[in-house]
C-alpha cells in the first residue's frame, strides 16, 4: 500500500509538537525577515518616531496575541482564524480569514526567501530565493519533526548573533543624530501608523502556533503559553535592537541596517549576513509549514478541493498542500520584491486578526470581569486599531 493510500484512511494530524517546539515555531516565525529588513521602510515613513511606531506595532500584536491565545484555548485544532471565524461568526468569515492568511503569509514567506537571496547572493536574489523554497519544501515533506530541529538550530544561532551585536553596539560610541533630525519633518500620524503596520509583520509569527494546533500536545494549555513566551522574547529583543539602531541612526537609511551597524562597530560583518540568511530561512520553515496546514484545514472544511487535504505517510504530512504552496511562492518570488511583499503581508494579516477579534467577541466567558476584558475590551480596541492601521497602509500605498 502506498503512502498516499495509507494517508487516505488517516485523516487526523499527529500531536507531536511539545511546548518547547511550539515556542520555537513562534520565535522562528517572528525573528525572521522583519528584524533584518523592516526597519528601513518603517523609518522612511516615521522618521524619529520609529520607536513610537514600534510601540504601536507591539501594542497591536499584544491585543492580537491575547485574542488569538483565547480562541486557541477554546478551539485547540489546526486552522487558527479560519476555524474561529467559521465556528463563531459565519462560514464566510472563516473563508475570509483563511484566504487573507494564505495571501498575507505567502507574501511574507516570499519576502523571507528574497531576503535570503539578498544576503547570500546579491545580484542573484531570485534564483537563490527559489532554491531556498525548494530546500525548505523537501525538509517540510519529511514532517514537522525535522522542520522543528532545523528551526531550533537556525534560531539559536540567530539569537546569539543579535544579542552579541547589541552588546557590542551598546558599548560603542554613538554616531551623529543628524539623520534623525532631518527625517522628522513632514511625518504625519498616518505615516506612523503605516510604519507600525510594516513593523507589525515582524511580530505576527505567533499565529503559526495556533494554525498548527492539531499537532501540538496538550494544545489547550500549551498554545496560549507558547504564544505568550515567544511574544515576550521577541518584544524585548526588538526594542533592544531599535535602541541600538537609534544610537547609530545612519544605519536606518540602509536596506540592511544591522549589517551597517556591524560595519560601524567592528563586529564581524559575515556573522550578521549569516544570521540574516538563517533568520529568513527559519521564518520560511515556519511560514511554509503554517501555510500548508491552513490549506489542509480549508480543504477538510470544504472551502478548497478535498484532495489538497490528504495526509501522507506515518507523520501525516499534507504533501499536496505543501507542494501547492511551494509553487505559489515561486511565482510570487519571481514577480515581487521585499518591500511590496511586506506591505501586502501587513495589510492582509491585520484583516485576519479582525476576524480573530470578532470571533473572541462572540464568546463571553463565565467570569464576569475577566469576560468583559477578554471578550469585549481587548477585541473592541483590537478591531479599532487594526482597522486604523489597515486604512493607513492603504492611504500610504495610494499616495
* pLDDT surpassing 90 at residue 111: no
**CA 71-72-76 angle, 5° bins:** 130
Q: Mapping DSSP to helix (H, G, I), strand (E, B) and coil, where does residue 286 land?
A: helix
* pLDDT surpassing 70 at residue 10: no
Average pLDDT for 269-287:
84
C-alpha cell read off for 6: 495509507
Quickly list DSSP for 51-79.
HHHHHHHHHHHHHHHHHHHHHHHH--STT
30-34, 72-76, 193-197, 370-374: segment of lowest average pLDDT: 30-34
**CA 65-397-105 angle, 5° bins:** 40
* pLDDT surpassing 60 at residue 139: yes
Task: Name the more confident of 79 and 332.
Answer: 332
pTM (whole model) above 0.75: yes
14-23, 205-214, 221-230: segment of lowest average pLDDT: 205-214
Domain that holds residue 265: 3-398
pLDDT for position 356: 93
Average pLDDT for 204-217:
67
288 with 325: CB under 8 angstroms?
Answer: yes
350 with 321: CB under 8 angstroms?
Answer: no
* pLDDT surpassing 90 at residue 384: yes
Give the range with max mean pLDDT: 44-53, 276-285, 310-319: 44-53
* pLDDT surpassing 80 at residue 377: yes
Average pLDDT for 88-115:
90
322 with 293: CB under 8 angstroms?
Answer: no
83 contact partners, CB below 8 Å, separation of at least 6: 75, 77, 94, 297, 301
pLDDT for position 183: 58
pLDDT for position 60: 94
251 contact partners, CB below 8 Å, separation of at least 6: 245, 257, 258, 260, 261, 264
Longest distance between any two alpha carbons in the chain, whole Å = 69
Task: Name the more confident of 212 and 255.
Answer: 255
Position 316 confidence tier, pLDDT thresholds 50, 70, 90? low
For residue 169, CA distances in Å to 116, 156, 278 come to 24, 20, 21
Per the prediction, the chain carries an average pLDDT of: 82
Distance separating alpha carbons of residues 340 and 254, to the nearest angstrom = 17
5-19, 68-82, 124-138, 214-228: segment of lowest average pLDDT: 5-19
81 with 352: CB under 8 angstroms?
Answer: yes
* pLDDT surpassing 70 at residue 196: yes
* pLDDT surpassing 90 at residue 180: no
Give the phi and the psi of residue 376 in degrees, each rounded to 5: -125, -60
**By percentage, how much of the chain surpasses pLDDT 70?**
84
139 contact partners, CB below 8 Å, separation of at least 6: 146, 147, 150, 285
Q: Categorise residue 123: left if φ over 0, alpha if ψ from -120 to 50, beta otherwise.
A: left
**CATH number where 41 lies:** 1.20.1740.10
* pLDDT surpassing 50 at residue 4: no
pLDDT for position 193: 93
16-25, 54-63, 99-108, 264-273: segment of lowest average pLDDT: 16-25
Task: Name the more confident of 143 and 103.
Answer: 103
Paired strand residues for 17: 216
How many domains does one find in the chain? Answer: 1
pLDDT for position 92: 92
Q: For 2-25, give the secondary structure using H, E and C.
A: CHHHHHCCCCCCCCCECHHHHHHH
Lookup result for grid cell 494546533: 213
Give the range with max mean pLDDT: 51-65, 360-374, 385-399: 51-65
pLDDT for position 344: 87
Using N-to-C axis directions, what is the helix angle for 144-170 and 219-247, rounded to 10°? Answer: 30
pLDDT for position 176: 57
Task: Name the more confident of 325 and 179.
Answer: 325
47 with 178: CB under 8 angstroms?
Answer: no
Amino acid at each position: 500500500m502506498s503512502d498516499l493510500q495509507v494517508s487516505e484512511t488517516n485523516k487526523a494530524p499527529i500531536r507531536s509538537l511539545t511546548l518547547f517546539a511550539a515556542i520555537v515555531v513562534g520565535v522562528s516565525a517572528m525573528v525572521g525577515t522583519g528584524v533584518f529588513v523592516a526597519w528601513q521602510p518603517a523609518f522612511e515613513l516615521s522618521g524619529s518616531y520609529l520607536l513610537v511606531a514600534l510601540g504601536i506595532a507591539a501594542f497591536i500584536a499584544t491585543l492580537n496575541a491575547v485574542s488569538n491565545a483565547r480562541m486557541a484555548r477554546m478551539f485547540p485544532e489546526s486552522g487558527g482564524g479560519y476555524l474561529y471565524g467559521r465556528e463563531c461568526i459565519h462560514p464566510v468569515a472563516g473563508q475570509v480569514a483563511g484566504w487573507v492568511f494564505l495571501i498575507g503569509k505567502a507574501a511574507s514567506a516570499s519576502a523571507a526567501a528574497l531576503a535570503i537571496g539578498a544576503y547570500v547572493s546579491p545580484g542573484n536574489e531570485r534564483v537563490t530565493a527559489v532554491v531556498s523554497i525548494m530546500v525548505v519544501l523537501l525538509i517540510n515533506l519529511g514532517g514537522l519533526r525535522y522542520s522543528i530541529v532545523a528551526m531550533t538550530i537556525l534560531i539559536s544561532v540567530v539569537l546569539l548573533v543579535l544579542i552579541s551585536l547589541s552588546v557590542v553596539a551598546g558599548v560603542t560610541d554613538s554616531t551623529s543624530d543628524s539623520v534623525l533630525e532631518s527625517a522628522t519633518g513632514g511625518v504625519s500620524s498616518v505615516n506612523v501608523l503605516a510604519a507600525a503596520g510594516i513593523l507589525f509583520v515582524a511580530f505576527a509569527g505567533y499565529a503559526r502556533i495556533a494554525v498548527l494546533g492539531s499537532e501540538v500536545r496538550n494544545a489547550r494549555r500549551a498554545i496560549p503559553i507558547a504564544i505568550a513566551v515567544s511574544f515576550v522574547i521577541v518584544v524585548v529583543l526588538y526594542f533592544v535592537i531599535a535602541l541600538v539602531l537609534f544610537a547609530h541612526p545612519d544605519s536606518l537609511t540602509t536596506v540592511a541596517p544591522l549589517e551597517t551597524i556591524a560595519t560601524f562597530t567592528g563586529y564581524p560583518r559575515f556573522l550578521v549576513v549569516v544570521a540574516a540568511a538563517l533568520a529568513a530561512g527559519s521564518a520560511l520553515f515556519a511560514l511554509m509549514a503554517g501555510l500548508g496546514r491552513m490549506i489542509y484545514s480549508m480543504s477538510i472544511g470544504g472551502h478548497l478541493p478535498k484532495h489538497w487535504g490528504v495526509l501522507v505517510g506515518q507523520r501525516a504530512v499534507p504533501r499536496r498542500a505543501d507542494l501547492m504552496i511551494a509553487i505559489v511562492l515561486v511565482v510570487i518570488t519571481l514577480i515581487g520584491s521585499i518591500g511590496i511583499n511586506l506591505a501586502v503581508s501587513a495589510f492582509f494579516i491585520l484583516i485576519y486578526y479582525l476576524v480573530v477579534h470578532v470571533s473572541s467577541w462572540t464568546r463571553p466567558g463565565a467570569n464576569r470581569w475577566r469576560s468583559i476584558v477578554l471578550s469585549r475590551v481587548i477585541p473592541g480596541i483590537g478591531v479599532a486599531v487594526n482597522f486604523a492601521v489597515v486604512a493607513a497602509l492603504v492611504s500610504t500605498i495610494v499616495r
